[in-house]
């Protein structure tokens, strides 16, 4: 199948998934989510695909949700964030964890918001030297979702998890490596050659061994992933009804500092 918002390529046992909305730094929309969910649950799950590589087209991995498109309204007229997280975003994240094969992220620029969550959901993460990560949700009055409230503290511990969630700061590639968020950092021009070499090695490896390791590590590290995703969706849905969120989005679009009121 061909997709409007991403590129799926199969080369023997390797599946290459490229997020393909480069004009928006691969920001997520509902249509983007539907395409990505279809690939993760469909083509990528094919047993003939022995390893998957995820990267972004253009200058970045993913800038997160596309705030200019917004969310479909719920019955109260406010954004139906719960529905979008439950039906699109979170099934993608859980789907990556359920794939019975290694999933490698090659982060080639900004990985922010749900874009960072997608990278953190992958089994191995390679980052370009110029890349950075951020849980920027707080900057628009929201909280981390996409499983980041589980993936991040599991990787970096309490102090750094709170730092990322509450301050929304950029974490550059080297600091991400030092903190345990990524596995490797490469010069920008070496990222994709190194990523391709790694995924080729994995695709030629003992697939059932990888799948069993992933199943056991999932149970140890993320025993209640679904419950955490549900909690994130409920909290995020409530936050999307606050004046602070409305102010945060308006300020983002207007490219100015938000004036939050705590309400």
Concatenate the DSSP letters of all residues of 106-172 into one string. EE-SEEETHHHHHHHHSSEEEEETT-EEE-GGGGGT----TTHHHHHHHHH-HHHHHHHHHH---EE
Query: For position 68, what pLDDT does the model report?
Result: 80
Rounded mean pLDDT, 59-84: 90
Q: Is residue 179 in a domain?
A: yes
80-91 exposure pattern, b = at least 16 Cβ within 10 A, e = fewer: bbbbbbbebbbb
In angstroms, the CA 111 to CA 258 distance is 22
Q: Is residue 223 in a domain?
A: no
Point out the least confidently predicted range of 68-82, 93-107, 248-262: 68-82
pLDDT digits (tens, 9 = 90+) for 22-66: 999 999 999 999 999 999 999 999 999 999 999 999 999 999 999
Number of domain units in the chain:
1
Q: How many residues does the chain have?
A: 263
Rounded mean pLDDT, 220-247: 97
Q: What is the largest CA-CA distance in the chain?
A: 55
Q: Is residue 237 in a domain?
A: no
Question: pLDDT confidence of 99, banded at 50, 70, 90?
Answer: very high
Q: Is residue 112 in a domain?
A: yes
Q: Is residue 203 in a domain?
A: no
Q: What are phi and psi of 227, to 5 degrees?
A: -65, -40
Domain with residue 12: its CATH number is 3.90.226.10
Q: Which domain holds residue 52?
A: 6-190
In angstroms, the CA 189 to CA 104 distance is 18
Q: Is residue 260 in a domain?
A: no
pLDDT digits (tens, 9 = 90+) for 131-190: 999 999 999 999 999 999 999 999 999 999 999 999 999 999 999 999 999 999 999 999
Q: Is residue 263 in a domain?
A: no
Per-residue DSSP letter, 65: B
Query: For position 79, what pLDDT does the model report?
Result: 87
3-class state of residue 79 by DSSP: strand
CB of 118 closer than 8 Å to CB of 146:
yes
The model carries a pTM of 0.96
Q: Is residue 134 in a domain?
A: yes
Question: pLDDT confidence of 67, banded at 50, 70, 90?
Answer: confident
**Strands 171-172 vs 51-56: parallel, antiparallel or unpaired:** unpaired
Closest CA to 96 of 120, 60, 62, 78: 120
């Amino acid at each position: 199948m061909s997709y409007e918002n991403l590129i799926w390529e199969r080369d023997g046992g390797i599946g290459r998934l490229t997020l393909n909305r480069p004009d928006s730094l691969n920001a997520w929309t509902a249509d983007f989510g539907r395409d990505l969910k279809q690939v993760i649950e469909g083509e990528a799950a094919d047993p003939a695909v022995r390893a998957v590589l995820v990267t972004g087209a253009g200058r970045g991995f993913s800038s997160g949700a596309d705030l200019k498109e917004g969310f479909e309204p719920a019955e109260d007229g406010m954004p139906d964030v719960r529905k979008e997280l439950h039906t699109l975003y979170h099934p993608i994240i859980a789907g990556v964890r359920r794939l019975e094969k290694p999933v490698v992220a090659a982060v080639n620029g900004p990985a922010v918001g749900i874009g960072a969550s997608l990278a953190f959901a992958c089994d191995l993460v390679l980052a370009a030297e110029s890349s950075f990560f951020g849980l920027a949700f707080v900057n628009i009055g929201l909280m981390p979702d996409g499983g980041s409230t589980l993936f991040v503290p599991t990787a970096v511990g309490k102090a750094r998890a709170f730092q990322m969630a509450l301050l929304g700061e950029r974490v550059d590639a080297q600091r991400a490596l030092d903190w345990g968020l990524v596995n490797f950092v490469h010069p920008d021009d070496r990222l994709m050659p190194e990523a391709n070499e790694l995924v080729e090695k994995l695709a030629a490896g003992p697939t059932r061994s990888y799948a069993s390791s992933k199943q056991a590590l999932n149970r140890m590290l993320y025993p209640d992933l679904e419950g955490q995703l549900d909690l994130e969706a409920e909290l995020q849905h409530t936050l999307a009804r606050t004046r602070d969120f409305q102010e945060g989005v308006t300020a983002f679009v207007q490219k100015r500092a938000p004036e939050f009121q705590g309400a």
